Amino acid sequence: MIHTFAQITQQDWLINLVDTLADGFYQNLIHQNRFMYLINGLKMTLLVTLFSCLLGILLGMIVTYLKMSKFWLFRFIANIYLTIIRGTPSVVQLMIIYYVVFGHVDINKIAVASIAFGINSGAYVSEIFRSGILSVDKGQTEAGRSLGLSATKTMVLIVLPQAIKNVLPALFNEAIVLLKETAVMGYIGLQDLARGGDIIRSQTYAAYFPLLTMALIYLVVVMLLSYIFGLIEKRMRLSDNR
Amino acid sequence: MITVKDLHKHFGKLEVLKGINEHIEKGEKVVVIGPSGSGKSTFLRCLNLLEVPDKGEIIIDGEAITDPKSDVNKLRQKMGMVFQQFNLFPHLTIMDNITLAPRKVKGINKKDAEEKAIELLKKVGLVDKAQSYPNQLSGGQKQRIAIARALAMEPEIMLFDEPTSALDPEMVGEVLNVMRELANEGMTMVVVTHEMGFAREVASRVLFMDEGVIVEQNPPDKIFTNPQNERTKAFLSKVL
Ligand SMILES: Nc1ncnc2c1ncn2[C@@H]1O[C@H](COP(=O)(O)OP(=O)(O)OP(=O)(O)O)[C@@H](O)[C@H]1O
Ligand SMILES: [Mg+2]
């Protein structure tokens, strides 16, 4: 069979590409079990995200309470916290907490990162909670109080359940933002997913394969989370139209 | 039962109540009428301290509720309130809407609270809606549930702030019927409304408010047929 010139070069080009990809795959992921950098990195990313999410929600609740308090001092403290956290980059906050706050203390880096990202997230979560509480009609509180429920019981039994339902999408979104934010934890020497990809890059001197693989993993995790959150939201909406 | 002395209230620069004096006896049905913005709602909301008065005294059952030491939550258990916008709790079933306060405030157990709720639902004709949610109900049904919810706390006084104003015309009657029945049972009621027919029929006294004061008050047959004050005349000529 006679091949034309164009067909030959096209085939060579394809063969070359497949070769390069196979080689890149082998060098960057298989050789010396390098994929473990990504697997372990992903575990670290998820772990820190989980801890900081929980801390962020806890702090968010406390700050919301302070911010909505009658006492000016409480509101003042909450405002200082919100201003500082929202006014500085989270990577700077992470470094300050690691090198300054815990600079002379022997403490687990995972704990440090979780605390730093948790403190950061708490500011955003509290704004979400506050907007959720404000989104519940004033008439709900008035109805509760007019029935003789105390302010606290009205908040817990009537306002909060509605507020949380309203802000669930925003909270889920914050969790995803947080997951991506933690990609800077390499700054204090933790090996998360982002750092894992970077380590492979520094060993193989190939940039695109490790970095694109790492990006793909982030993307898949985020899409998976969005999917799960979407299902939960859908269920909540369905139960809304009872 | 309710005594109001020299009640004042302002919002910012706006003086809404400019010295209200009033005495309401047990079992009376007082209907408050007046133009929009005259302070009717504010007056009513001061009675259960949803608005805190600036000046003056409100005495309920011999207790000065305007005294900072008085127990607001205790006071509110004596007074039910029905709102123009119903304000049912959308996340709870009708049953839970009604039993929430008796259980969480008075500590009544679930079974007793639900028995009482069923009784009230029968009274307002909505027993089949116990397991529904508020957004499955019509406006008139919602308002009847709101009345049942308030009654579940066994109040001595019921306050109504334009209970039928947010309703489609064909649903006004069903709500007024429940209120009429309540009145016949001897409940002390203070009702802000534009339903002059209801006022004429049920009220023991009609208060006409304008610009933050009670301008005139008389039994309905008198105030509607022979108003004394010029402002009352002008208002009634517009609404009757
Ligand atoms: N929370 C508030 N803050 C500021 N202004 C208020 C507030 N509540 C009422 N007002 C004002 O006070 C005045 C009296 O209000 P109020 O609701 O008592 O009138 P109303 O007689 O019930 O009128 P309507 O028939 O329209 O319900 C109005 O001008 C209103 O805008
Ligand atoms: Mg009003």
Domain boundaries, given as residue ranges, for chain A = 38-241
Tell me how many residue pairs between chain A and chain B have CB atoms under 8 A apart.
64
Alpha-carbon distance of A42 to A45, in angstroms, equals 5
Instruction: Identify all chain A residues contacting B81, using CB atoms and an 8 Å cutoff.
Output: 142-143, 146
Which amino acid appears at position A10 of this protein?
Q
The residue whose two tokens read 């109001």 is: B4
Residue A145 pLDDT > 90, yes or no? yes
Alpha-carbon distance of B76 to B47, in angstroms, equals 9
Identify which of B81, B80, B98, B78 has the alpha carbon closest to the alpha carbon of residue B89: B98
Counting ligands in written order, the one closest to the CA of B43 is 1
Residue A17 pLDDT > 90, yes or no? no
> H-type helices in chain A, by residue range?
5-25, 35-67, 72-87, 90-95, 109-135, 138-146, 151-154, 160-181, 193-204, 208-240
**A6 pLDDT tier (thresholds 50, 70, 90):** low
Residue A167 pLDDT > 70, yes or no? yes
Contact yes or no for A153 and B90 at CB 8 A? no
**A8 pLDDT tier (thresholds 50, 70, 90):** low
Average pLDDT for chain A: 91
Does A153 touch chain B if contact means CB atoms closer than 8 Å?
yes
Angle at A146 between CA A142 and CA A148, to 5 degrees: 125
Distance A104 CA to ligand 1 centre (A): 60
**A34 pLDDT tier (thresholds 50, 70, 90):** confident
> H-type helices in B60-134, by residue range?
72-78, 94-106, 110-123
**A74 pLDDT tier (thresholds 50, 70, 90):** very high
Q: Which atom of ligand 1 lies closest to the CA of B84?
A: 27
pLDDT on residue A25: 82
pLDDT on residue A20: 83
A153 → chain B, closest CA residue:
B104
Q: What is the pTM of this model?
A: 0.85
Residue A2 pLDDT > 70, yes or no? no
Q: Which residue of B91, B105, B133 is in closest CB contact with A147?
A: B105
SS (H, E, C) B169-237: HHHHHHHHHHHHHHHHCCCEEEEECCCHHHHHHHCCEEEEEECCEEEEEECHHHHHHCCCCHHHHHHHH
Burial A13-38 (b: 16+ CB within 10 A, else e): eeeeeeeeeeebeebbbeeeebbebb
Chain B interface with A: residues with Cβ < 8 Å = 48, 50, 73-74, 76-77, 79-81, 83, 85, 87-91, 100-101, 104-105, 132-133, 135-136, 146, 149-150, 153
pLDDT on residue A7: 64
Does A149 touch chain B if contact means CB atoms closer than 8 Å?
yes
More confident residue, B184 or A15: B184
Q: Using an 8 Å Cβ cutoff, are A154 and B104 in contact?
A: no
Q: Which atom of ligand 1 lies closest to the CA of B41?
A: 22
Average pLDDT value for residue range A10-21: 84
Overall CATH class of domain A38-241: mainly alpha
Which amino acid appears at position A11 of this protein?
Q
Which amino acid appears at position B52 of this protein?
V
pLDDT on residue A1: 53
Does A168 touch chain B if contact means CB atoms closer than 8 Å?
no
**A3 pLDDT tier (thresholds 50, 70, 90):** low
Instruction: From first to last of the 240 residues of chain B, give the pLDDT tens digit.
Output: 899 999 999 999 999 999 999 999 999 999 999 999 999 999 999 999 999 999 999 999 888 998 888 898 888 999 999 999 999 999 999 999 999 999 999 999 999 999 999 999 999 999 999 999 999 999 999 999 999 999 999 999 999 999 999 999 999 999 999 999 999 999 999 999 999 999 999 999 999 999 999 999 999 999 999 999 999 999 999 887
Q: Give bridge partners of residue B159 from the DSSP assignment.
A: B81, B190
Alpha-carbon distance of B89 to B150, in angstroms, equals 13
Q: Give bridge partners of residue B11 from the DSSP assignment.
A: B14
Alpha-carbon distance of A211 to A218, in angstroms, equals 11
